[in-house]
């Protein structure tokens, strides 16, 4: 009753006599209404599945760390659900210390990963740079090869031109030499006749006329005069008188013999003059033909030298092309 009276006093209801049971019952209900209602405590929920998943990932990273002993790594990994998973406001100082240890491990892992990443990026940059340099080298080599192929084509063309020029120069030289041979043929005959005629006048006719030729040689000399006169186209009847007149000594010759001697001499000198004029008239043309041959010969020599140089250049360009391939 005293407790009931006290509760009534707290809620502001005046105390009633103990005999009044109904009011007491009412006051009990009022007092009961003022007391706090005790609720059933909620069951502990623990960390969420997402948090557990994150802790599991962190634990895996810690266990994979190569810098710490296995005992340390297992200790830290096994405490994550009871340290890092706890809300920050509920953590104890020791839990925070453990979390700092975990943070240290993770930062070391991050630093190691960053170091590997930097190293990989450096290697990648090196590879890219080498690839770029290689591509540039390939492009340079391709350009060089293309240029050398063009050089080879030009060298081939120049060699073909020089070969054609040499062949043309050779043909021109052959033509000039043929023209010289043909043009000089008549003059060569005339020159030979003139030489033979001059020799006969000096060594045969002169000694026979003067009687200085020995009798043993006279007959051979007379035959040579007859042959020479025949080759020069002397009159046949005149040549028939030569043996008898030329065989006599000067003191034994008559007027007819002297006439034969003088006519033969006149014919010989006449032929000599004719041949001399022929050679003199043909000399300019002969010199012109000789000049043409000399010019053609010089041109041929130059063309041959040009061909040799072009051939050397072509071979050098081919070698350079092979080196560039």
Residue 252 sits at the vertex; the CA angle it makes with 250 and 256, to the nearest 5 degrees, is 85
Tens-digit pLDDT profile for residues 234-257? 999 999 999 999 999 999 999 999
Q: Average pLDDT of the chain?
A: 84
pTM (2 decimals)? 0.52
Asked if the model's pLDDT at residue 6 lies above 50, the reply is: no
Residue 67 sits at the vertex; the CA angle it makes with 63 and 69, to the nearest 5 degrees, is 65
Quick one: pLDDT at residue 317?
92
Quick one: pLDDT at residue 67?
84
Tens-digit pLDDT profile for residues 114-151? 988 999 999 999 999 999 998 998 998 899 999 999 99
Quick one: pLDDT at residue 45?
57
Residue 116 corresponds to which tokens in the numbers above?
């590997």
pLDDT-based confidence at 212, cuts 50/70/90?
Answer: very high
Residue 138 sits at the vertex; the CA angle it makes with 136 and 139, to the nearest 5 degrees, is 65
Cβ-in-10-Å burial (0-12, 13-18, 19+) of 37 comes to: exposed
Nearest to 243 by CA among 262, 261, 231: 261
For 275-282, which contacts have Cβ atoms below 8 Å and span 24 or more sequence positions? 275/190, 275/191, 275/193, 275/194, 275/197, 276/194, 278/186, 278/187, 278/190, 279/187, 279/190, 279/191, 279/194, 282/186, 282/187, 282/190
- pLDDT average, residue stretch 250-270: 93
Asked if the model's pLDDT at residue 226 lies above 50, the reply is: yes
Quick one: pLDDT at residue 24?
45
């Amino acid at each position: 009753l005293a407790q009931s009276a006290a509760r009534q006093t707290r809620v502001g209801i005046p105390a009633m006599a103990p005999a009044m049971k109904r009011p007491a019952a009412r006051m009990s209900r009022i007092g009961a209404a003022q007391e706090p209602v005790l609720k059933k405590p909620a069951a502990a929920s623990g960390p969420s599945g997402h948090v557990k998943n994150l802790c599991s990932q962190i634990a895996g990273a810690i266990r994979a760390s190569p810098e710490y002993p296995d005992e340390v790594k297992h200790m830290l990994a096994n405490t994550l659900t009871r340290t890092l998973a706890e809300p920050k406001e509920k953590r104890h100082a020791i839990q925070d210390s453990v979390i700092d240890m975990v943070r240290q491990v993770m930062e070391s892992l991050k630093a190691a990963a960053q170091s590997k990443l930097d190293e990989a990026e450096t290697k990648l940059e090196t590879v890219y740079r080498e690839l770029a340099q290689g591509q540039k080298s390939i492009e340079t080599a391709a350009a060089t090869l293309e240029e050398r192929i063009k050089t080879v084509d030009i060298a081939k063309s120049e060699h073909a031109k020089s070969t054609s020029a040499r062949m043309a120069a050779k043909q021109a030289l052959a033509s000039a030499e043929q023209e010289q041979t043909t043009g000089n043929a008549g003059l060569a005959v005339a020159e030979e006749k003139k030489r033979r005629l001059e020799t006969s006048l000096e060594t045969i006719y002169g000694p026979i006329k003067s009687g200085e030729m020995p009798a043993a040689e006279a007959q051979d000399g007379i035959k040579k005069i007859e042959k020479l006169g025949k080759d020069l186209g002397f009159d046949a009847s005149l040549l028939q008188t030569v043996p008898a007149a030329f065989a006599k000594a000067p003191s034994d010759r008559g007027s007819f013999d002297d006439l034969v001697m003088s006519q033969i001499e006149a014919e010989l000198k006449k032929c000599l003059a004719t041949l001399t004029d022929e050679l003199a008239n043909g000399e300019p043309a002969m010199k012109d033909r000789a000049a043409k041959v000399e010019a053609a010969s010089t041109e041929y020599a130059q063309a041959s030298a040009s061909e040799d140089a072009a051939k050397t250049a072509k071979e050098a360009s081919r070698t350079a092309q092979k080196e560039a391939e």
